[in-house]
């Protein structure tokens, strides 16, 4: 299929059994987001007080035994008015002990997901770092020591010697209260290949803190994550006293839940990150001692306006989880798949989320239309099953290939003739070329759609496409700057290219002078004299590097801001993004640690 894409769209493109389905998943999620229509809804929260402190909040959950659905502010105000004089009575109190068990030691995909959530590591970076830990780190006089077991596995199996070592450590370090009667054994998924154990430390004796000085920062963090999770997996569960209270107010039902930790169990060493378990780690909501039939005093009623949210775009962690849950690919392939779809420019990561590119959506459309059966999630997952059956000797390779090619070969031949030839497509527009007056046409290039003069090759004028709020297409107006071209004297303009924004002469194509887009902030390297310029990696990620590269290799990922650090006097601050906080100004000097609002 890849040669067809080269012929019809662009050289260098590729199709892959799992890679293309991954792009399809990203594109279909984007379509869901585009088609999403937000809906308004309101929550009502009551602040209540019983005979015993403290006061507590409860949320309206049902009206007349049906799920509460409040669509606008008017309904919310009407309900509040009805509730003001209604007695609030405790109708049900349920108390129970809840156990929260530790997860098993890491498989490849789980390690990639957790490292992505905690450290913002890409799947590739996680695997590179794990490879170093596996191959060996020089530990003082001991020489090179392999610190972890093999990092490409989808099995939860652990060697009995390692289990005994972990249990001995837990008993000695934390005491019998933290040690289960028997070693915890986790059942591997049905489709897992059991050749390798789960990812664990090669020896508990190499505690992360003891060997920190021999490890790089990334290596230390990943090793500590693997070590802590493995040891925690053999510890007793955390115990909570969980209380659920139902409160009736006429035909309205309010509800609240709270949990108090009785025993921390494995959580003293390891707790899964918030995005995975959906709970705040260690968060406790204290409720008063309360009894059924008790009357409560209403302190306040608070209406809160909300809007339904579209499904989120995939992060590396959630895309790996999606592939794993659907049975697509193998542990060893996830990092490569995520890299390939970015290298092929089918998708790009923006603020940690995958966005399909125009090229990605085009290729997805062409492949799904012409090979819908091959790039179906169920087909791709069933292929994994067939490969396992071949390995087990329950299915033959020849029959599997023959069955596949019987339907695939005709589709392949048909695609060679019938698939859209994007290279040759020219969509007429009503836009006039400002160089020669000929009509402009829409064509496809390396960076997606662009406008080109129909009088090519006599006129080589091109322009970026802009779409207004009504969907009307026009030329993207270039932002002309005060910077003068040092070749012809005309003003430079901000342009968009394969590697992001840059300065190009407004006299193009007569003058083809270009420069990197300067932020105006001086490079902080002593004696450099350069300035920081906006650049973009091959994968489309923006960074800021010195204009004197390669003589000066200073670079940073965060956008520099022309403000001096109020704490240490560093010549500029940077714009960092934090989950739940958005953009925050911070000092790039690691020894300073200044962050706005801290």
Catalytic positions, please? 150
Coil, strand, or helix at residue 272? coil
**Helices 19-35, 358-370: crossing angle, 10 deg rounding:** 110
* 8 Å CB contact between 376 and 323: no
What DSSP character marks residue 228?
H
Alpha-carbon distances of 239 from 15, 179, 243, 263, rounded to whole Å: 49, 14, 13, 5
- CA gap 184, 105 in Å, rounded: 11
Q: Measured between alpha carbons, how far is 256 from 93 in angstroms, rounded to an integer?
A: 10
Q: Is 348 helix (H, G, I), strand (E, B) or coil?
A: strand
* CA nearest neighbour of 48 among 38, 64, 60, 34: 60
> Is 79 within 8 Å of 266 (Cβ atoms)?
no
530 strand-pairing partners: none
Contacts of 582-589 with C-beta under 8 Å, sequence gap 24+, read 585/561, 586/558, 588/556, 588/558, 588/560, 589/565
Distance CA 208, CA 137 (A): 13
Q: How far is CA 252 from the centre of its chain?
A: 40
Backbone torsion region of residue 571, taken as left when φ is above 0, otherwise alpha when ψ lies between -120 and 50, otherwise beta = alpha
Q: What angle do CA 457, 459, 463 make, to 5 degrees?
A: 110
d(CA 500, CA 35): 28
* C-alpha to C-alpha distance for 522 and 547, rounded to whole angstroms: 9
Distance CA 514, CA 471 (A): 31
List of residues 6+ apart from 430 with CB closer than 8 A? 439
Strand order in the sheet with 491-497: 479-484, 491-497, 500-505, 514-522, 531-536, 542-546, 555-556
CA 473 – CA 496 distance, rounded (Å)? 17
Q: Which residues pair with 545 in a beta bridge?
A: 533, 555
Q: Considering only CA atoms, which of 54, 89, 25 is closest in space to residue 346?
A: 25
């Amino acid at each position: 299929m890849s040669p067809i894409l080269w012929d019809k769209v662009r050289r260098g493109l590729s199709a892959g059994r799992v890679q293309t389905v991954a792009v399809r998943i990203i594109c279909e999620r984007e379509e869901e987001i585009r088609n999403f229509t937000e809906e308004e809804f309101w929550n009502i929260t009551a602040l209540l007080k019983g005979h015993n402190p403290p006061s507590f909040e409860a949320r309206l959950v049902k009206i007349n035994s049906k799920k509460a659905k409040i669509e606008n502010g008017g309904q919310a105000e009407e309900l509040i008015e009805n509730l003001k004089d209604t007695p609030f009575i405790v109708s049900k109190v349920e108390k129970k002990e809840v156990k929260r068990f530790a997860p098993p030691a890491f498989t490849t995909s789980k390690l990639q997901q957790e490292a992505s959530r905690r450290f913002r590591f890409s799947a590739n970076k996680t695997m590179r770092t794990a490879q170093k830990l596996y191959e060996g780190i020089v530990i003082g006089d001991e020489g090179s020591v392999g610190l972890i077991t093999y990092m490409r596995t989808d099995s939860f199996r652990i060697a009995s010697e390692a289990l005994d070592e972990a249990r001995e450590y837990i008993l000695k370090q934390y005491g019998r209260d933290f040690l289960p009667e028997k070693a915890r054994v986790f059942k591997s998924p049905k489709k897992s290949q059991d050749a390798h154990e789960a990812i664990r430390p090669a020896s508990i004796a190499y505690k992360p803190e003891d060997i920190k000085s021999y490890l790089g920062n990334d290596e230390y963090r990943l090793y500590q994550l693997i070590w802590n999770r493995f040891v925690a997996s053999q510890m007793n569960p955390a115990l909570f006293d969980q209380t659920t209270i139902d409160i009736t107010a006429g035909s309205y039902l309010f509800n609240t839940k709270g949990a108090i930790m009785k025993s921390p169990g494995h959580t003293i060493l390891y707790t899964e990150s918030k995005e995975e378990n959906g709970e705040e780690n260690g968060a406790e909501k204290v409720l008063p001692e309360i009894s059924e039939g008790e009357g409560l005093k209403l302190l306040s009623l608070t209406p809160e306006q909300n809007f339904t949210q579209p499904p989120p775009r995939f992060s590396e962690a959630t895309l790996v989880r999606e592939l794993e849950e659907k049975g697509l690919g193998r542990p060893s392939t996830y990092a490569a798949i995520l890299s390939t779809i970015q290298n092929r420019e089918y998708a790009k990561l923006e603020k940690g989320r995958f966005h399909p590119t125009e090229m990605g959506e085009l290729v997805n459309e062409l492949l799904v239309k012409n090979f819908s059966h091959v790039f179906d999630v169920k087909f791709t997952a069933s292929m994994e099953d067939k490969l396992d059956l071949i390995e087990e000797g329950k299915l033959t390779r020849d029959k599997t290939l023959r069955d596949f090619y019987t339907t695939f070969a005709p589709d392949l031949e048909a695609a060679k003739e019938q698939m859209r030839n994007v290279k040759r497509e020219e969509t007429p527009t009503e836009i006039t070329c400002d160089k020669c007056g000929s009509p402009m046409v829409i064509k496809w290039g390396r960076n997606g759609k662009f406008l080109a003069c129909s009088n090519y090759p006599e006129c080589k004028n091109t322009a970026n496409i802009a779409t207004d709020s009504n969907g009307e297409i026009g030329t993207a107006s270039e932002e002309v700057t005060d910077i003068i071209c040092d070749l012809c004297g005309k003003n430079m303009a901000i342009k968009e290219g394969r590697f992001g924004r840059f300065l190009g002469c407004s006299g193009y194509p007569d003058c083809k002078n270009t420069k990197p887009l300067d932020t105006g902030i001086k490079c902080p390297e002593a004696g450099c004299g350069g300035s920081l310029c906006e650049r973009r990696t091959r994968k489309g990620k923006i960074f800021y590097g010195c204009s004197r590269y390669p003589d000066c290799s200073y670079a940073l990922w965060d956008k520099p801001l022309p403000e001096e650090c109020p704490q240490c006097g560093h010549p500029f601050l940077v714009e960092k993004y934090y989950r739940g906080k958005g953009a925050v100004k911070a000092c790039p000097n690691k020894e300073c640690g200044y962050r706005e609002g801290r």
